[in-house]
Structure 1
């Protein structure tokens, strides 16, 4: 009896052991299948090819970023992303900005992508003297305008559905309500008067580096840029300083754009004084930069024919300032107009290829220096 009982016990133990082994094998198989199907809390691979733009906000960290990545469908779960970030000692080096990732990335791949500078969308760079529209340079490459640069940020190298194109930006710049775009009150009258022309917003986007949301609309992007720029310009007391030198704030902005385009480094305040002295005389400014602004293609030296062509900006053919700024003036150019150098100069010319600029009170002195410039090859005497 006892030996049979022991046999039955061994049989039951063997059955339990076999069942346990089968359960473990089944669990391992289920985990393998689940992982292959992206069910077990993480996806596999570098994504499904569908682009997803992700923003890493200033002051954010991986613990805050994970839930957003899960919500956007980039990673399967926040838990998987947190685990991957803990495994990567460089995860704390993820920088603020916008990144082009893909949906259904493994957590490890998402962390790697956020650490790869190639996936970070380059911020918008606006340099002093930049223009809204592209500029075709005779004998050279086309200089992309601010609106085309915004398209690059939004669309990358190739425009695709949903991104913001330069054409959309042109339309908003030309036709949207300027007040809704953040145009400051002191510029509204002139901007409204040029409805239909995108150049009416020239000068209202200050030079600087801007983080632009590639998924935003054309109107919201321009509103953000113009609003931030207005605050920067107004921080210089542009309203009060304009009154002190006898200009409106918009005229000061326009004058500063001329300084930006005409003055060599270190001479901004002197060129500002020349502008004010000429306006006071009164005498025409006669700046080649204002001639070029109205042309479809430009070169440093302008022709007699170009200088005679009337445009809203050509200060050879019209009295006073251009009707709008001709470029984005830097804070340095704004402050030069707000605090011009003391002097009676009415003329200036660059006389050599090293960039030496000479300022004169009289036309006779100026002609002597123009001849010097022609002899050194800076000016073309036949134009």
Structure 2
């Protein structure tokens, strides 16, 4: 009698195991065989139920809408997903998609701050993104310096040009903080490795000079030479006389042309009027411009003139410079 009971128990156990394997195999095939027909963006709101999410996958043609499938999910211990916006790709199965939902592999966006952008241009760019939350209480360079805990009067120059990735619902301020952190790193590294030839005496002066170098750069390889010109002028007490500082001081009044009266206007940034560096940067410099500001080229140049192809002709004397101006800009006039 005991043997019959034991045999019955074994057979029953085997039947349960076989049934479980068959059921698991069935639902596993539903889980992995069907694939998404086309790319789509899928958003899971916070608090959305598992049943609702599985219903969405069923609507996409990936799984059957069945309470038994939901129970299978729970039995497998793969029932938890994270809220957010997801990029679902054609050819992905329910299993692949659910795995990404479980780890929170949400859709990423990107935005690029271009070298030489002013803080006003950067704010227009960021605040135009409908995927970012605008949490800025004031967009002026002074107000942004306070919000970003920058210990200078202006936030101009402190936002590193780069490509930044973010998720829908991230804030403008969070992107700005990352840009500030990256510039801090660039500036700190450059300052620690500065040359003895550098004319600037503080890291902030280096940032100011780097912004001018960036705005004068037409060919990236010329940054050290442009830095050499400004370094020589600073060391000799000469005015920098660089047009981008005039333009920055004009603000919204700049219409594309610089007139003689603009060169004579006494703004804090007009280096045709003031001696030394302006009080703040005039744009966001690249890492290479920051490095060039504290590592000028070897040439003892004092002048440069645009050649019309993006590059410059560098001169050591005023006579040589005037000749270059006639050749490249006045064209013999």
Q: Given the alignment, which residue of 146, 149, 156 partners 2:122?
A: 146
1:142 alignment counterpart:
none
Secondary structure of 1:68 counterpart: coil
- State the distance in 1 between where 2:299 and 2:55 align: 71
1:252 and 2:206 aligned: yes
RMSD: 3.5
- State the distance in 1 between where 2:79 and 2:264 align: 59
Q: Cα gap change, 1:357/1:86 in structure 2, threshold over 3 Å: closer, same or farther?
A: closer
2:82 alignment counterpart:
68
Residues 239 and 249 of structure 1 are in contact (CA less than 8 Å); yes or no, is this contact kept in structure 2? Answer: no
Q: CA deviation at 1:301?
A: 4.6
Q: Given the alignment, which residue of 279, 285, 299 partners 1:343?
A: 299
1:233 alignment counterpart:
187
Q: Given the alignment, which residue of 78, 84, 94 partners 1:84?
A: 94
Structure 1 residues 1-383: aligned runs within 5 Å:
41-43=54-56, 67-69=81-83, 84-86=94-96, 99=107, 121=109, 123-133=110-120, 145-153=121-129, 155-156=130-131, 163-164=133-134, 168=137, 170=139, 174-175=142-143, 178=146, 181=148, 183=150, 188=151, 191=152, 194=153, 200-236=154-190, 238-239=191-192, 241=194, 245-247=198-200, 248-265=202-219, 266-295=221-250, 296-298=252-254, 301-351=257-307, 353-376=308-331
2:63 alignment counterpart:
none
Number of equivalences: 255
2:71 alignment counterpart:
none
- State the distance in 1 between where 2:283 and 2:244 align: 10
Secondary structure of 2:322 counterpart: helix
Q: CA deviation at 1:366?
A: 1.2
Q: TM-score, normalised by structure 1?
A: 0.58
Q: Cα gap change, 1:176/1:149 in structure 2, threshold over 3 Å: closer, same or farther?
A: closer
Q: Cα gap change, 1:369/1:150 in structure 2, threshold over 3 Å: closer, same or farther?
A: same
Residues 85 and 168 of structure 2 are in contact (CA less than 8 Å); yes or no, is this contact kept in structure 1? Answer: no
Secondary structure of 2:119 counterpart: coil
Residues 304 and 313 of structure 2 are in contact (CA less than 8 Å); yes or no, is this contact kept in structure 1? Answer: yes
The structure whose RCO (Cα within 8 Å, separation 6+) is larger is 2
- State the distance in 2 between where 1:146 and 1:301 align: 23
Q: TM-score, normalised by structure 2?
A: 0.65
- State the distance in 1 between where 2:305 and 2:85 align: 60
- State the distance in 2 between where 1:230 and 1:65 align: 43
Residues 204 and 229 of structure 1 are in contact (CA less than 8 Å); yes or no, is this contact kept in structure 2? Answer: yes
Residues 292 and 299 of structure 1 are in contact (CA less than 8 Å); yes or no, is this contact kept in structure 2? Answer: no
Q: Cα gap change, 1:360/1:243 in structure 2, threshold over 3 Å: closer, same or farther?
A: closer
- State the distance in 2 between where 1:97 and 1:182 align: 31
Q: CA deviation at 1:218?
A: 4.4
Q: Cα gap change, 1:373/1:230 in structure 2, threshold over 3 Å: closer, same or farther?
A: same
Q: CA deviation at 1:243?
A: 7.0
Unaligned 5+ segments in structure 2 are: 1-50, 61-76, 87-91
